[in-house]
A and B are shown apart, each in its own frame.
Chain A
Amino acid sequence: MPDLLIELFSEEIPARMQARAREDLKKLVTDGLVNAGLTYASAGAFSTPRRLTLAIEGLTAQSAVLREEKKGPPIDGRDEAIIGFLRGAGFEAEPKWYAERIQSLRDGNVLTSDYVLVRVGEQKGKRFLFAGFEYPGRPAAEIVAEVLDATIRNFPWPKSMRWGAGSLRWVRPLHSILCLLSDEAGATVVPLTVEGIAAGNTTRGHRFLSPDAFTVTGFDDYAAKLRRAHVILDSHEREEAIRQGAENLAFARGWQIVPDDTLLSEVAGLVEWPVPLMGVIEQRFLDLPPEVLQTSMKEHQKFFSARNPKTGRIEGFVTVANIETPDDGATILAGNQRVLAARLSDAAFFWENDLREAKAGMGAWAEGLKSVTFHNKLGSQADRIERIAALAREIAPLVGADADQAEQAARLAKLDLRSAMVGEFPELQGTMGRYYALAAGQPEAVADAARDHYSPLGPSDDVPTAPVSVAVALADKIDTLTGFWAIDEKPTGSKDPYALRRAALGVIRLVLGNKVRLSTKEVVEQTILREFIPPAQTLGQNESAKVDSLERKLADLNWHPTLLGSGLASRSDAEAELMTLKAEAEEAVAHRDNVLARLAAAPADLLSFLHDRLKVHLRDQGIRHDIIDAVLAQLGNDDLVLVARRATALNAMLQTEDGRNLTQGLKRAGNILAQAEDKDGVEYSFGADVKFAETKEERALFAALDTAEPAIKQAIAAEDFPAAMTAIARLRSPIDAFFDTVQVNTDHQIVRRNRLNLLHRIRAAGQQIADFTKVEG
């Protein structure tokens, strides 16, 4: 069984694309080989900045013979159908030819070509055409060449390019293709040429340390020779070398490397021969916030940060060179140190200027945010801060925060957007806000809110828990959602340019994580009433005022317009103008009414959006969507904490056998009742009396309901949903016994009515918990 080695050697592949490219190469090639009838034992893909490599072991030398039989139309049927079938089997000819062959087939002869045999066969007493295909096996090399050619031409790079005068696309210019099949007898190059690049058995080592080409005979030889040529093929091995090397360097100084897996894999994609070098941050920069040092070093220089555990500060860095030098990296380190010093000088300059502004109260930043547009229909960042401050104040008591502090925090939280540091490093927004708020003499709670109010940003991000932070974080997100709903910029399909799904999930996680009891709908309604209805109501006022003014003038029959005063030459001109103005005013008023109607509908609409996100969130926690639907059908569904707790309790109950059977019982009761109500045109809702009960099962159900009803009611009132579930679950056996022995629809009308009214009590008990008709199964 031969092994296959493929290497696509190019100019430097972006680090961020390499992992995906390895997987794509493996999948495209192995899928292609398998589809063509080859099998293989194992496959591994590798990448360095200059190469993508695939090694496949145990490939079959030849594809299996592929056999396939297709059933065709009846031989005694229409000729057209038979001709179509023969065409599909690869027979293309003149009409006369078909007529002859069809006759021949009907006579019991067969029709053959290189790879197909058409015959007549019997099935269930009828005569049909059958085509048996047989594709001979093909040598692996032939298949590999085809598959690799197609893989290179259709490779799904996120961005690809052309170069020189050619038309091939690759991530960067592709220089050579190594494609080798090897077995005990030796290695052979798979003959293949893609846009003038002929496959061979050579590759190159490190760009500077071992630039010469060399030949290889198989994967082991390839990996070993690459290593001698200063290339570590496996990115995981490079990562490990970098991690170990960096840790050893730090350890020698008594420091620790700040772990950063994203950076590690990026750096491993930038080097073929990693050489970690440790540098020391100059004393004058050590007072910069650690986040600033870390971000600057990581983003600009791709350095790892080294922390001194004795001081808790970041005092060193590790840069990873791609080369061993005669001076052991001294020149490289000196250069990097120099670049870092220039970067950190800038950062220190920003920090000092920003601190000065922070200590002065950040008034200039607040002023500056007035000229930063948030959205052209939602005003400036300053306008937005005003809205958030009002909301934070309103939410504060619900989350146990001081209202003044929440409002103050909301006013300060976004001011760092105007700081020079955040201008340079946008990812430090919030982080810097906290430092600047502290420098401005604000309490910790306010400063923390500045840092944390953007959270949570994703489904796994930490949720803030400090009350002031929670208030501002909620206000921030509710304002975003309400605002975009008010201007009708909702997410559609995959388009969510303002990350409103993320904001909704943020609200949900903040509310659930902190057990914040609030009526979401009410908060949204209040916000719309306060912020968006008043400006909407003024729409059309200017237009109407113009109409009024001109009408008043025209009412005075002595009034004659002059060009100078009004731009109108005569009364008839003015009357025509009045018509235009009236039309404009009507349009403006209609627009206003549209906007107001939309604003009126927005809270319910936004609530259902939140419900959808809640479903996704709870589903991720293992709660079925039908259970959530059943709970959402209840009153009070805009209190998300309540919804989640109900759903969790119901979900737990439905995991039990009692729960599942109970659901069946409740549904059955509901169905019988609904049918009867439909038929009789009345609602059976009360009056069930145990004295009309005829069987002991019936009486037992009365008794069970007498116990369960107050228990459920009490548990619901206490919001003890597990207790409510336990109480209703006790109805399971009485309900089952009832349905097993009692026929509801008897001829005796009084008994029947009584039983239907009894079923209502079951339905009503269920409705206290959830809408069980929505529960599946």
Chain B
Amino acid sequence: MTSPNRPRSFQEIILRLQNYWAAQGCAVLQPYDMEVGAGTFHPATTLRALGGRSWAAAYVQPSRRPTDGRYGENPNRLQHYYQYQVIIKPSPANLQDLYLGSLRAIGLDPMIHDVRFVEDDWESPTLGAWGLGWEVWCDGMEVSQFTYFQQVGGHDCRPVSGELTYGLERLAMYVLGVEHVMDMPFNDPEAPIPLTYGDIFRQTEREYSRWNFDVADTDTLFQHFKDAEAECARILSADPVDGAGRTIPMAHPAYDQAIKASHIFNLLDARGVISVTERQAYIGRVRALAKACADLFVTTDAAQA
């Protein structure tokens, strides 16, 4: 890891990934402007994996997992973190090579590291989605998830999308040789004002951990869940023809409500107010929304080849 190619900061790793995937022809998108649990929830992945139209996108997605909050004290766990997501449809034959190129781009040379593709099938019960692939190991550490989508929202993916997900903090900590996430240089350590990850996120991790675990009002959240569910159903059942006679089905606005319901469920889970048996029922309700959105999306122009 002493190669001259080695990046110096968290943001440099992100920038290199952006440049690399842009050079491979991906549209470099921006994060989705809603709270999501993973980059997969971005409609650029979930919805665009459906239908026959070709697609290639890469983006950073801030992701929230309220139950993973540790008040900023755990070296590896955060309730808010970043994923780097790449999705290409149809999956190109050289996707593994493209992926390995991205590791080289951030300074992980597979000739001195041990890079391995270890079976790991991916499934998202809330999205009604699954795929086969691997977790990619670098020197025994999982650095990415590599998946060929087979189904999303209950629909067979034809063609198949290839999806790559990098857990950015963990990957960067390894590349930069940092033991605690909060110590990781965010910008260039030689910059006039060097900032660590902790300078930016220590306080927010503490605040959100408290709110997620102890303070979030569960009655309000339960109500929000119901509201999102109802609004999603309302949007989906709206007449596709508007007052001016235009046919505009609204898959994306409905899907926003599904995302919202999913995140509220995660918050309720962190508050510990969802029992084991209820859990399955809630996941089933979110999945029903995601499926209904997928059903509508595949009828729209964006899904046609």
Query: CA–CA, A319 to B114, complex, Å?
Result: 11
Q: Are B159 and A164 in contact (CB under 8 A)?
A: yes
Cβ 8 A contact of A339, one of B110, B140, B160, B277: B140
Query: CA–CA, A108 to B215, complex, Å?
Result: 100
Query: CA–CA, A13 to B157, complex, Å?
Result: 21
Report A142-168 CB contacts with B as 1/0, cut-off 8 Å. 000000000000000001111111100
Cβ distance B127 to chain A, nearest Cβ, rounded Å? 17
Q: Are B132 and A172 in contact (CB under 8 A)?
A: yes
Cβ 8 A contact of B150, one of A162, A335, A338, A345: A162
Report A367-388 CB contacts with B as 1/0, cut-off 8 Å. 0000111001000000000000
A424 interface contact, C-beta 8 A: no
Given A270-B116, A270-B118, A326-B112 in contact, is the A335-B91 Cβ separation under 8 Å? no
Q: Are A323 and B276 in contact (CB under 8 A)?
A: no
Q: Are A173 and B119 in contact (CB under 8 A)?
A: no
Query: CA–CA, A49 to B119, complex, Å?
Result: 10
Given A161-B160, A319-B140, A340-B140 in contact, is the A175-B121 Cβ separation under 8 Å? no
Query: CA–CA, A25 to B96, complex, Å?
Result: 25
B111 interface contact, C-beta 8 A: yes
Given A164-B90, A322-B114, A323-B111 in contact, is the A342-B139 Cβ separation under 8 Å? no
Query: CA–CA, A372 to B275, complex, Å?
Result: 9
Q: Are A163 and B116 in contact (CB under 8 A)?
A: no
A68 interface contact, C-beta 8 A: no
Cβ distance A594 to chain B, nearest Cβ, rounded Å? 25
Q: Are B159 and A165 in contact (CB under 8 A)?
A: yes
In the complex formed, the residue of B with least CB distance to A376 is B277
Q: For chain A, which range describes its interface: under 10, 10 to 19, 20 to 34, or 35 or more residues?
A: 35 or more
Number of B residues with CB within 8 Å of any CB on chain A: 38
Given A159-B121, A164-B159, A208-B110 in contact, is the A373-B140 Cβ separation under 8 Å? no
Cβ 8 A contact of A323, one of B93, B114, B119, B150: B114
Q: Are B93 and A336 in contact (CB under 8 A)?
A: no
Q: Are A163 and B148 in contact (CB under 8 A)?
A: yes
Cβ 8 A contact of A164, one of B91, B112, B121, B276: B91
Cβ distance A593 to chain B, nearest Cβ, rounded Å? 29
Cβ 8 A contact of A331, one of B96, B112, B118, B141: B112
Q: Are B93 and A175 in contact (CB under 8 A)?
A: yes
Which of A163, A270, A334, A376: most chain B CB closer than 10 A? A163
B213 interface contact, C-beta 8 A: no
In the complex formed, the residue of B with least CB distance to A345 is B75
Q: Within 8 Å CB of A373, what residues of B? A: 275-277
Cβ distance A244 to chain B, nearest Cβ, rounded Å? 20
B43 interface contact, C-beta 8 A: no
B237 interface contact, C-beta 8 A: no
Cβ 8 A contact of A335, one of B92, B111, B131, B141: B141
In the complex formed, the residue of A with least CB distance to B133 is A172
Using a CB-CB cutoff of 8 Å, which residues 315-336 of chain A contact chain B?
Answer: 319, 321-323, 325-327, 329, 331-332, 334-336
Query: CA–CA, A11 to B93, complex, Å?
Result: 10
A438 interface contact, C-beta 8 A: no
Using a CB-CB cutoff of 8 Å, which residues 95-137 of chain B contact chain A?
Answer: 96, 110-119, 121, 131-134
Q: Within 8 Å CB of A173, what residues of B? A: 91, 93, 148
Q: Are B139 and A335 in contact (CB under 8 A)?
A: yes
Q: Are A335 and B134 in contact (CB under 8 A)?
A: no
Cβ distance A224 to chain B, nearest Cβ, rounded Å? 24
A281 interface contact, C-beta 8 A: no
Cβ distance A627 to chain B, nearest Cβ, rounded Å? 47
A400 interface contact, C-beta 8 A: no
Given A159-B132, A335-B140 in contact, is the A164-B160 Cβ separation under 8 Å? yes
Q: Are A14 and B140 in contact (CB under 8 A)?
A: no
A357 interface contact, C-beta 8 A: no
Could you list some 16 contacts between A and B, CB below 8 A?
A: A12-B118, A12-B119, A162-B148, A162-B160, A163-B91, A165-B160, A171-B132, A173-B148, A301-B140, A323-B111, A325-B112, A329-B114, A335-B113, A335-B139, A340-B140, A342-B75
Residues of B within 8 A of A (CB): 1, 75-76, 90-93, 96, 110-119, 121, 131-134, 138-141, 148, 150, 157-160, 162, 174, 275-277
Q: A319-B140, A327-B112, A373-B276 are in contact. List 15 more A-B contacts (CB 8 A).
A: A12-B116, A49-B117, A159-B132, A160-B132, A162-B150, A162-B158, A163-B148, A163-B162, A165-B90, A321-B114, A332-B113, A332-B139, A334-B139, A342-B75, A342-B76
